[in-house]
């Protein structure tokens, strides 16, 4: 096959080892009459980005291909623990509801400045809030084709086993961009502890639920006020009225974004606890917690029920509860609250692992070997594979303990008083 050999040698001059491996899989696939086809992980390459097309999600056609910036430049692999070599102390992502006093003031100023700067970047800068949304939109609306596969099979990072790792990576690079804009490499994106509806009897020496040596023990299920100041860069106008209603906890059982009525704490807290118990109880079968598998040759999964238990409920309900832009993968990441919300989803994955009892990540090489590209804080393309993102400490951060598994304890009597 001289033509194929010639084609291969030209490609070899311009591609990385990973791209060549994919190409071999693709050749095997396209010549499957004479080669036994192996399954292969989804691998996003330069070619994937260059071949970006219009996507389709939630009933609308999307146009969110990321910018043609540095596509020909180097692609740098994410190396686990490299951040820790530079900064051996882990950064701590804390629970927003326990920030108070000087710490809250400083954090508010930094976060607002960070988003102000991110919004002010040119629209074609991959670090701008506009492009952060484009990246999530492209990955989440089928705008990326599976490289070299016959037919029009696309990639998606929702409703399947890519959801948790991809969003961990995305929030990590988003946090790195904020660090760079703030010139503060210790900045951490604190989390909206939406799953926690319990004010536990753990107080500091002043009798308040602040950060203490054992963590934060204050309910976190109200929309974080830090994101609700309409004069600030952390605000987003296109939300439902729910985040603005005082003392209305998030509703983790919401299955329809227009669903009435509003459920206040007396109703919402026990329902939320049930949702959390169900989502986190899933364990012994990885598919239940992570979602269905998707690999080269798999058609994009559309039904939400294909997602894992954490993604299906509570994650999807929080998107519905905020509503507005948050209702669609094409626009959700325009709202800065997305990133603190997803930091908590990431934390819940970490908490799930700590629950033990055979809760382990998939061992399938097509999951571990899946690779994605992101632009980092220096606009450089970074390649990261799922197998390298399984331990948050490899990214240099950890989470403050909160009343972590309050929803697992059925004897835990909720205190439903507002903060
Ligand atoms: Cu998403």
Tokens of 319: 């998107």
Tokens of 41: 């992980």
User: Residue 186 Cα, ligand 1 centroid: separation in angstroms?
Assistant: 25
pLDDT class of 409 with cuts at 50, 70, 90: low
Report which of 114, 344, 106, 64 is spatially closest to residue 223, judged by C-alpha positions. Answer: 344
User: Residue 98 Cα, ligand 1 centroid: separation in angstroms?
Assistant: 26
Sequence-separated (6 or more) residues with CB below 8 Å from residue 149: 26, 29, 296, 297
- Please give the pLDDT value at position 134: 96
Range 316-342 average pLDDT = 96
Query: Model confidence over 19-64: pLDDT tens digits?
Result: 444 444 444 444 333 334 478 999 999 999 999 999 998 888 999 9
Cα dihedral value 71, 76, 81, 85, nearest 10? -110
User: Residue 18 Cα, ligand 1 centroid: separation in angstroms?
Assistant: 25
Query: Model confidence over 191-207: pLDDT tens digits?
Result: 999 999 988 776 666 66
- Please give the pLDDT value at position 206: 63
User: Residue 136 Cα, ligand 1 centroid: separation in angstroms?
Assistant: 6
This model of the complex carries an ipTM of: 0.95
pLDDT class of 4 with cuts at 50, 70, 90: very low
- Please give the pLDDT value at position 357: 81
Q: Are 94 and 402 in contact (CB under 8 A)?
A: no
Superfamily of domain 47-408: Di-copper center containing domain from catechol oxidase (1.10.1280.10)
User: Residue 228 Cα, ligand 1 centroid: separation in angstroms?
Assistant: 21
Query: Model confidence over 353-405: pLDDT tens digits?
Result: 988 888 889 999 999 999 999 999 999 999 999 999 999 999 999 999 998 77
User: Residue 7 Cα, ligand 1 centroid: separation in angstroms?
Assistant: 37
| pLDDT surpassing 70 at residue 348 | yes
Q: What DSSP line would sit under 32-88, residue for residue?
A: TTTSPPPP---B--HHHHHT---EEETTEEE--PPP-SSTTS-EEE--TTHHHHH--
- Please give the pLDDT value at position 10: 33
| pLDDT surpassing 80 at residue 257 | no
In which region does residue 290 sit, left (phi positive, over 0), alpha (psi from -120 to 50) or beta (all else)?
alpha
User: Residue 418 Cα, ligand 1 centroid: separation in angstroms?
Assistant: 29
Query: Model confidence over 83-119: pLDDT tens digits?
Result: 667 677 899 999 999 999 999 999 999 999 999 999 9
Domain ranges of the chain: 1-38, 47-408
Q: What's the residue count for the chain?
A: 419
How far is Cα 4 from Cα 46, in angstroms, rounded to an integer? 21
How far is Cα 343 from Cα 408, in angstroms, rounded to an integer? 20
User: Residue 328 Cα, ligand 1 centroid: separation in angstroms?
Assistant: 9
Q: Is 145 helix (H, G, I), strand (E, B) or coil?
A: strand
pLDDT class of 11 with cuts at 50, 70, 90: very low
| pLDDT surpassing 70 at residue 17 | no
Report which of 396, 315, 348, 289 is spatially closest to residue 140, judged by C-alpha positions. Answer: 315
The whole-chain average pLDDT of the chain stands at: 85
| pLDDT surpassing 90 at residue 144 | yes
How far is Cα 227 from Cα 270, in angstroms, rounded to an integer? 26
User: Residue 140 Cα, ligand 1 centroid: separation in angstroms?
Assistant: 7
Question: What percentage of the chain exceeds 90 in pLDDT?
Answer: 65
b (16+ CB within 10 A) / e for 32-49? eeeeeeeebbbbbbbbbb
| pLDDT surpassing 70 at residue 419 | no
How far is Cα 323 from Cα 318, in angstroms, rounded to an integer? 8
User: Residue 338 Cα, ligand 1 centroid: separation in angstroms?
Assistant: 9
How far is Cα 244 from Cα 182, in angstroms, rounded to an integer? 29
- Please give the pLDDT value at position 67: 82
Could you give the C-alpha distances from 192 to 150, 156, 160, 186, 277, in angstroms and in order? 42, 25, 24, 19, 18
User: Residue 294 Cα, ligand 1 centroid: separation in angstroms?
Assistant: 16
Please return the burial class of 201, using the count of CB atoms within 10 Å of its CB with bins 0-12, 13-18 and 19+.
exposed
User: Residue 167 Cα, ligand 1 centroid: separation in angstroms?
Assistant: 6
Report which of 147, 156, 126, 148 is spatially closest to residue 62, judged by C-alpha positions. Answer: 156
- Please give the pLDDT value at position 304: 77
pLDDT class of 142 with cuts at 50, 70, 90: very high
- Please give the pLDDT value at position 300: 79
Q: In this predicted structure, which of 209-213, 329-333, 343-347 has the lowest mean pLDDT? A: 209-213
Query: Model confidence over 173-183: pLDDT tens digits?
Result: 999 999 999 99
| pLDDT surpassing 90 at residue 127 | yes
- Residue 251 vs residue 299, higher pLDDT: 251
User: Residue 206 Cα, ligand 1 centroid: separation in angstroms?
Assistant: 40
Could you give the C-alpha distances from 35 to 30, 151, 153, 390, in angstroms and in order? 9, 19, 21, 33
- Parallel/antiparallel/unpaired status of strands 75-77 and 381-385: parallel
- Residue 203 vs residue 265, higher pLDDT: 265
- Residue 198 vs residue 341, higher pLDDT: 341
């Amino acid at each position: 096959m001289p033509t194929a050999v010639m084609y291969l040698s030209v490609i070899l001059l311009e591609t990385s080892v990973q791209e060549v491996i994919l190409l071999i899989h693709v050749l095997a696939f396209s010549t499957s009459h004479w080669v036994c086809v192996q399954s292969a992980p989804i691998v996003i390459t330069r070619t994937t980005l260059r071949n970006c097309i219009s996507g389709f999600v939630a009933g609308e056609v999307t146009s969110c291909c990321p910018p043609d910036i540095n596509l020909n430049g180097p692609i740098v692999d994410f190396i686990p623990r490299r951040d820790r070599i530079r900064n051996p102390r882990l950064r701590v992502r804390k629970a927003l509801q326990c920030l108070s006093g000087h710490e809250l003031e400083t954090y508010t100023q930094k976060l607002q400045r960070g988003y102000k700067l991110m919004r002010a970047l040119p629209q074609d800068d991959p670090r701008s809030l506009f492009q952060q949304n484009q990246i999530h939109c492209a990955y989440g609306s089928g705008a990326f084709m599976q490289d070299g596969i016959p037919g029009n099979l696309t990639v998606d990072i929702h409703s399947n086993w890519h959801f948790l790792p991809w969003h961990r990576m995305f929030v990590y690079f988003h946090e790195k961009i904020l660090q760079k804009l703030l010139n503060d490499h210790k900045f951490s994106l604190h989390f909206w502890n939406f799953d926690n509806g319990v004010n536990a009897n753990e107080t500091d020496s002043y009798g308040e639920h602040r950060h203490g040596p054992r963590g934060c023990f204050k309910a976190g299920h109200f929309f974080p006020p830090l994101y609700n100041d309409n004069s600030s860069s952390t605000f987003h106008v296109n939300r439902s009225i729910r985040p603005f209603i005082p003392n209305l906890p998030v509703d983790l059982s919401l299955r329809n974004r227009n669903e009435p009525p509003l459920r206040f704490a007396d109703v919402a807290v026990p329902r939320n606890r049930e949702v959390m118990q169900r989502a986190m109880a899933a364990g012994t079968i990885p598919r239940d917690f992570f979602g269905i598998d998707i690999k080269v040759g798999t058609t994009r999964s559309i039904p939400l029920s294909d997602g894992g238990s954490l993604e299906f409920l509570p994650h999807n309900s929080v998107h519905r509860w905020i509503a507005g832009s948050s209702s669609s993968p094409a626009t959700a990441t325009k709202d800065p609250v997305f990133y603190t919300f997803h930091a908590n989803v990431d934390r819940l994955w970490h908490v799930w692992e700590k629950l033990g009892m055979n809760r382990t990540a998939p061992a399938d090489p097509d999951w571990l070997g899946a690779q994605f590209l992101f632009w980092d804080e220096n606009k450089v393309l970074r390649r990261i594979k799922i197998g390298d993102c399984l331990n948050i400490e490899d990214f240099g951060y950890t989470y403050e303990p909160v009343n972590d598994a309050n929803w697992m304890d059925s004897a835990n009597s909720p205190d439903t008083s507002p903060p």
